[in-house]
Amino acid sequence: MAGVRQFDEREALSRALDVFTDRGFRATSMLDLAAGTGVQRGSLYHAYGGKEEIFLRAFGEYTARFLAGAAEALQRPTKREALLTFFDYCIDTFTAGTPPHGCLSTRTAIEAATESPRAETAVRGLLDDLETLVLTTLSTLDDGVEPPVDLAAAARLVVSTTRGLAVMERVRYEPDELRAIAETLVTSLFGR
């Protein structure tokens, strides 16, 4: 039947995300995506139009899951606990796998800036949404502790630190070292 997809789109996008996570945006080819998804290259072109479209669809799914996990991690009674749990979630996300797969959004931001403005925009959207999520959480928690900077600046600093931690993980900092860095930031903002 013409026009009917002969593959499970959710499964194909999930597998495509794995390929992009393993290889990065730049190094991933349509042949890699066909091999990784088990879907013929022609079918992928027909369904999505090309690598960038596949990435954007898969990254959209990734963004939704990541933000949902971050929101759940932030559901704690104090700002300090919320941020420490949030950092644990982020660190666990990019140290998962054997070997660890790193942070797809940070890697894409570095690689896609010159190759895909749309991918760059998607990463910026994720970071902006993450910053809003952190700011909203910090603003609603009334634990009597205020940072030495305004909450918007604190939220931006927190999100910026997640990117730095992702880079440090790539040069073999261990999860415990990354958590110690995050805890230092949280302590400087909200005390012990």
Looking up residue 163, the CATH number of its domain turns out to be: 1.10.357.10
Which whole number is the average pLDDT over 29-38? 94
**Confidence label for 138 from pLDDT (cuts 50, 70 and 90):** very high
What pLDDT, on the 0 to 100 scale, is given for residue 119?
92
What pLDDT, on the 0 to 100 scale, is given for residue 4?
45
DSSP letters, 154-181, are HHHHHHHHHHHHHHHHHTT--HHHHHHH
CB 186 within 8 A of CB 180: no
Report the amino acid identity of residue 74: L
- Residue 20 domain-assigned? no
| Cis status, amide bond into 99, omega within 30 of 0 | yes
pTM assigned to the model? 0.90
Among 15-19, 58-62, 70-74, the range with the most confident prediction by mean pLDDT is 70-74
- Residue 18 domain-assigned? no
* Structure token pair of residue 74: 């932030």
CB 127 within 8 A of CB 105: yes
pLDDT over 80 at 113, yes or no: no
pLDDT over 50 at 160, yes or no: yes
Among candidates 96, 95, 114, which has minimal Cα distance to 171?
95
Domain that holds residue 118: 58-190
Give the CA distances from residue 98 to residues 22, 24, 73, 89, 102, in Å, rounded to whole numbers and listed in that order.
11, 16, 23, 17, 10
Q: How many domains does the chain have?
A: 1
Which whole number is the average pLDDT over 75-80? 97
Among candidates 94, 122, 100, 115, which has minimal Cα distance to 25?
115
The DSSP symbol for 1 reads -
pLDDT over 50 at 181, yes or no: yes
What pLDDT, on the 0 to 100 scale, is given for residue 102?
85
- Residue 144 domain-assigned? yes
pLDDT over 80 at 6, yes or no: no
**Confidence label for 5 from pLDDT (cuts 50, 70 and 90):** low
- Residue 108 domain-assigned? yes
Which whole number is the average pLDDT over 36-54? 92
